[in-house]
A and B are shown apart, each in its own frame.
Chain A
């Protein structure tokens, strides 16, 4: 069976669109937990609303991925590298789901309904549970650090393929 040499257009759009969204969300998250500036509340509100956008996008993206054939990894890539590539991609998908879910749950247990662009509100617990809030608040931070680490590994691997191995792995996503 012959694989195409590039990811489908829909997969590339999902990849780069979500790359922009995820980097913006991580930057916003890191800024808004420290800043006392008047725009902090605006950024916080945007971050929560885009978290809902993110989980919808990653769900659509996963469905799209399962329906498409992926370009094969280079034949001369070591088996352990192929394994690392596959595991890291599924870990990235896991984190893309876990980030908005943990973010929502920390808000839920703190009793803070989420306003989505003034259109609708996501429900929150009527009775605050501070232990579950603490659990998901700390998880949200740890998952964010894990995601930053995975993105660094992902970008590093893409650079390694392109500049060191000089294969077509990066080009297949362009």
Chain B
């Protein structure tokens, strides 16, 4: 698994940063995916559903364009256990709602504006995710 791809990582990252900056410059919104997606759901759904739906449609259409350009979406490698998938999905849903953001909202947008909240949140979810993988794969500390 140690196949470091720094150049495509930097280019892809720069595009993510560009999309976040453009969304702010055009619409004044933070490109936090959990917030954009969560705003579409009841009971707390936001009044401005149009651009949220459009943004998520853009995310889903993106692999079609990259496929045409020679960068097809790799088939996602998911665990066999559906119970594990449901548990992980629930935790990501609840956690991003309680904590006010995810990797994009806190990790990219929040750190870019030097928000202490987002820097703290990113440090915590990174550390906890690393600990989770350590326990799952190596039984460390578990």
A and B from one complex: no
* Interface residue ranges, B against A (CB under 8 Å): none
* Interface residue ranges, A against B (CB under 8 Å): none
